[in-house]
Amino acid sequence: MVHLEIQYEYLKKIGQSSEISPLIDFIINERKAIILKNNNSNAFSVAHDLFICVYKNDKNTAIEIYNSFSKRHPTHETPWVYNEFVLFSLICAIAKFNFDKKWVSSVLDLQGQSTDAERRIILSSFKNILAGNLNVKEDFHQISLIFQHYSGVKNFQQDRIDKMFKNLWLKEFPFHQSDFLNVISLKAIQIAFDSKGLLSPQEFQDSKVFVSRFKRRTEISGKVIVWLFVISIFVALVLMSWRFYNTEGEKSIFAKVINFTTGILGVGLITIFSIRKRVENLVIKFIRAAFGYKEVIKKISNKVE
């Protein structure tokens, strides 16, 4: 599971680039964004605008931006050719609006056969999206899932989402070497939560904090209740002894009362202390059951599993 503080620090680190930060922010948070269209010479600006076009189903603007950008003739030395965020935005726009695929296919071919297995699967996932194959088992399904989510071209397969979700949930973060794949995976987890009817990651984290605090407070409450009970018995016995001692005509039996009280206190308190822990556990369980703790935790656990 990805702890929110680790996720936050990671996104903060990779988001230090002013070029890529707006795109990451939009992918993760789905914040309202406007098409900038102020720098079609910058690949990251184009990527940002195309992604917004896909999200808003703005085909006319997408055509204008894409036609301008696709006039370029990139080479092996062109930096953005190897940037997965840029490539993904281009592919989403082409697949969503059915643009001509030849230009972007030639861009992908510039990379040749990568020696990095992770990157090969990313590129394969891109090509399958272009071909309309959205549920290829060998691909990173989170890439296809994000495309389907934002483009509205939905062909969800719940078993594929479940498998991806469980795989990512059990991994340590960062999941992959690729920053792009990590960002896409984080968003895919959010989508998986929604598709399974679960709490959001933030709500899930909040629920963990609440459960921890609730358990701690019920333990304290249980101990306090048991100790109050013990003290009440002790006080009651002392008052009873004092009453017998101050009652006229009962002084003759004072020794008996003292012996009786001492015996009760000795045996009673020893017995109470010997079973105190078990009594505390029973009281704690009762308090938790009264607030429906067991049922709530069972429901959450079943959904996550």
| pLDDT tens sequence across 152-175 | 877 777 888 888 888 887 788 888
| Extended strands (E) in the chain | none
**Angle value at C-alpha 258, between 257 and 264, nearest 5 degrees:** 90
Per the document, the length of the chain is: 305
Nearest to 288 by CA among 222, 192, 196, 203: 222
pLDDT digits (tens, 9 = 90+) for 48-74: 899 999 988 999 999 999 998 999 898
97 and 119 part of one domain: yes
At residue 39, the pLDDT reads 61
182 and 217 part of one domain: no
Per-residue confidence at 269, pLDDT binned at 50, 70, 90? low
At residue 85, the pLDDT reads 93
131 and 9 part of one domain: yes
User: pTM above 0.85?
Assistant: no
Q: Both tokens of residue 76?
A: 């092996």
171 and 232 part of one domain: no
106 and 189 part of one domain: yes
Environment class of 19 (CB within 10 Å of its CB; exposed 0-12, middle 13-18, buried 19+): middle
Residue 282 burial (CB count, 10 A): 13
Question: Does the structure show a pLDDT above 80 at 4?
Answer: no
Domain finish residue from 153, 169, 197: 197
Q: Which domain holds residue 235?
A: 204-304
At residue 300, the pLDDT reads 46
250 and 293 part of one domain: yes
Q: What number of H helices and E strands is found in the chain?
A: 13, 0
123 and 190 part of one domain: yes
74 and 33 part of one domain: yes
At residue 301, the pLDDT reads 46
Q: Both tokens of residue 301?
A: 């656990």
**Angle value at C-alpha 53, between 78 and 46, nearest 5 degrees:** 20
Cis peptide before 174 (omega within 30 of 0): yes
Q: How many structural domains does the chain have?
A: 2
267 and 187 part of one domain: no
95 and 185 part of one domain: yes
- List helix spans (H) across 74-200: 84-97, 102-109, 117-130, 141-151, 158-169, 179-195
Domain finish residue from 197, 229, 264: 197
162 and 261 part of one domain: no
Interatomic CA distance for residues 127 and 111, integer angstroms = 13
Kindly report the average pLDDT of the chain as a whole number.
77
> Inter-axis angle of helices 84-97 and 141-151, to 10 degrees?
50
List of residues 6+ apart from 234 with CB closer than 8 A: 265, 269
16 and 152 part of one domain: yes
When computed from its CA atoms, the radius of gyration of the chain, rounded to whole angstroms, is: 33
Q: Both tokens of residue 107?
A: 């861009």
Domain finish residue from 197, 225, 258: 197
Per-residue confidence at 302, pLDDT binned at 50, 70, 90? very low
Residue the block writes with tokens 């272009």: 130
Interatomic CA distance for residues 122 and 131, integer angstroms = 14
